[in-house]
Amino acid sequence: MTQPALFIEPPAAPAEPSTRGWEQISAPGALICIKRSFLGPVAATKLLRRLIDVVPWRQDKIKIFGKEHDLPRLQQWYGDPGQVYLWSGIEMRPLPWIPELLEVREAVQRATKRDFNSVLLNYYRDGNDTVSWHADDEPGLGLSPFIASLSVGAERDFLLRRTDDKTEKRNIKLTHGSLLVMGGETQGNWQHAIPRRKRVTEPRVNLTFREFE
Ligand SMILES: O=C(O)CCC(=O)C(=O)O
Ligand SMILES: [Fe+2]
């Protein structure tokens, strides 16, 4: 059996956004940083495989013009007990933390100096799986949500556009093992999406750590 401890390489020196390996994305009205070297490739691949295997992935549905459709990705939510998360009308109750996710949460908390009580997992089976334009602005996340988003697997484009000027755009490559953080007024001023990319044939799992009040 693989020990969860093998997922994470020896801890790096404590880092804060915009120091030690963090790169800031220039986007007016947003606070977005990425640490591409958060997980090494070996640890990132182990985590990807393990999560694909052990998570009881949900195929949620969404109603569009009264007709039910499969959401174009699989999901699951883990967190401290007692929270109910509404996402586009879908009610999600968190599963209890598993050792792999607790270990990753610990490393994410060390790197960001923030606490998180839940994580939403998205499983993009290939480039046909997507997430459409939205902001992570659920009321339970507070006025300026701080979100830490870990990506493992296929590199995907993370598109950003300003809510009040949709011609103002950014494209961030979410690479294998990278940790992206969004804070400040990002969710109020910008939306994000993972668009379809037909040439992508490999899976990707994204973990967005969140702090619900
Ligand atoms: O997969 C990603 O990188 C983004 C996921 C996302 O935006 C979300 O779960 O709210
Ligand atoms: Fe999001």
Could you tell me the CATH number of the domain that includes residue 96? 2.60.120.590
pLDDT for res 85 = 72
86 in Cβ contact with 120 (< 8 Å): no
> Which of 87, 118, 137, 149 best tests ligand 1's pocket when mutated (most atoms within 8 Å of CB)?
149
Distance 205 CA to ligand 1 centre (A): 10
Instruction: Assess if residue 4 is contained within a domain.
Output: no
d(CA 6, CA 3): 6
d(CA 132, CA 38): 26
pLDDT of 37 above 60:
yes
pLDDT of 88 above 70:
no
Instruction: Assess if residue 88 is contained within a domain.
Output: yes
Cite the DSSP H helix spans in the chain.
Answer: 41-54, 99-112, 186-189
Least confident stretch, 52-61, 66-75, 78-87, 149-158: 78-87
Smallest CA-to-CA distance from 58 within 99, 100, 101, 87 is with 87
More confident residue, 91 or 5: 91
Instruction: Assess if residue 6 is contained within a domain.
Output: no
Going by the DSSP 8-state scheme, the letter that residue 57 receives in this structure is: -
pLDDT of 165 above 70:
yes
Instruction: Assess if residue 3 is contained within a domain.
Output: no
- Please give the single-letter amino acid code of residue 100: E
Report the chain's terminal Cα–Cα distance, integer Å: 36
- Ligand 1 atom with the shortest distance to the CA of 206: 1
Instruction: Assess if residue 106 is contained within a domain.
Output: yes
Q: Whose CA is nearest to atom 8 of ligand 1?
A: 208
Q: 50-75: per-residue pLDDT in tens?
A: 999 999 999 999 888 899 999 999 99
d(CA 86, CA 134): 14
Main-chain phi, psi angles of 111, to 5 degrees: -75, -25
Q: Which domain holds residue 28?
A: 17-59+68-210
Cite the DSSP H helix spans in 113-179.
Answer: none
Instruction: Assess if residue 72 is contained within a domain.
Output: yes
Structure tokens, 195: 């668009």
Instruction: Assess if residue 86 is contained within a domain.
Output: yes
Tracing tokens 């046909």 back to the chain, one arrives at: 128
d(CA 25, CA 34): 8
d(CA 78, CA 154): 22
Distance 81 CA to ligand 1 centre (A): 22
Whole-prediction pTM: 0.89
pLDDT for res 55 = 98
207 in Cβ contact with 119 (< 8 Å): yes
Mean pLDDT of the chain, nearest integer: 89
d(CA 75, CA 118): 13
Angle at the Cα of 66 from the Cα atoms of 63 and 68, rounded to 5 degrees: 40
Our count of domains for the chain comes to 1
Residues touching ligand 1 (Cβ under 6 Å) are 120, 122, 131, 136, 149, 151, 158, 174, 192, 194, 206, 208
More confident residue, 20 or 8: 20
Smallest CA-to-CA distance from 113 within 209, 1, 212, 3 is with 209
Instruction: Assess if residue 105 is contained within a domain.
Output: yes
Distance 106 CA to ligand 1 centre (A): 20
